[in-house]
Amino acid sequence: MVDIAGKVALITGASSGMGAATAIKLAGAGVKVGIAARRTDRLEEVKAEIAANGGEALVLTMDVADPASVNAGVARLIEAWGRIDILYNNAGVMPLGNVENLEIDNWNRMIDINFKGVLNVTAAALPHMIGQRSGHIFSTSSVAGRKPTPGLAVYSATKFAVSAFSESLRMKVGPKHNIRVTNIQPGLVDTELGDHIADPEARQQLVAYRGMIKFLDGADIADAVLFAAQAPSHVNVAELYILPTQQA
């Protein structure tokens, strides 16, 4: 296990769920965390919790779908701390619905945030990691990024894209620039994503699942990120597929 105290991380989607839990976990290990999301008020709450436990956090109001917003946030992080050692592309939305309903606005929203957001933030952070000749890029895919199911057509497509991009990126920047890449593929996690579901049938299905099995929580994913980040420098944990024990 490598000591990562003093390293600098950027975490998107850090206002709640897996992102907030990972920010708190990494800060507890001595990492300076840039916490990015659109909801600044929620980020301030996460920052306060980190500070109360002796950690250091920088609030970055960021819309990952907007390259200008991303570039401004990354520039502010670099100005404050001079480097980026860990990037966690975690921001995502899940407004599920029957594909036959042709909810094109929701499709484009998922593409813009879930996949283009990963591209935008990676593009802003990667040059700094290449310059350092070190870094670690995490991205949240999903069980839906390896097993498509009815009702998740576009969401699954965005997560398949994240998985493909992560693996291709790993093969390119690992040997050439000493940058590790880890693809996180969670199963059912107790996050706010369920609140994004407008389709009554899909929402009811999620409620039914909650009654049958114990979901993962954000801290479970944070533990996995910390594990991979603390691996020896010659070890790249390329993929973490994490499910509730009771999930088929």
Domain boundaries, the chain: 8-241
What integer pLDDT is reported at residue 199 of this predicted model?
64
Query: Predicted confidence band at 248 (pLDDT cuts at 50, 70, 90)?
Result: confident
pLDDT (0 to 100) of residue 210: 63
Which of 85-89, 100-104, 232-236 has the least mean pLDDT?
Answer: 100-104
Q: Which of 88, 155, 209, 241 is catalytic?
A: 155
SS3 assignment, position 129: helix
| pLDDT value, residue 206 | 63
Given this model, what pLDDT does residue 204 score? 65
- Nearest residue to 239 via CA among 142, 152, 110: 142
Residues with Cβ within 8 Å of residue 94, at least 6 apart in sequence: 110, 155, 193, 194, 196, 197
Mean pLDDT value of segment 97-125: 92
pLDDT tens, 185-222?
999 888 765 555 666 666 666 666 566 788 899 999 99
Contacting residues for 172 by C-beta, under 8 A, at least 6 apart: none
User: What's domain 8-241's architecture?
Assistant: 3-Layer(aba) Sandwich (3.40)
The pTM of this model reads 0.93
Cα–Cα distance measured from residue 160 to residue 70, given in angstroms and rounded to the nearest whole number: 23
Q: How far apart are CA 166 and CA 73, in angstroms?
A: 22
Whether residue 155 lies in the annotated active site: yes
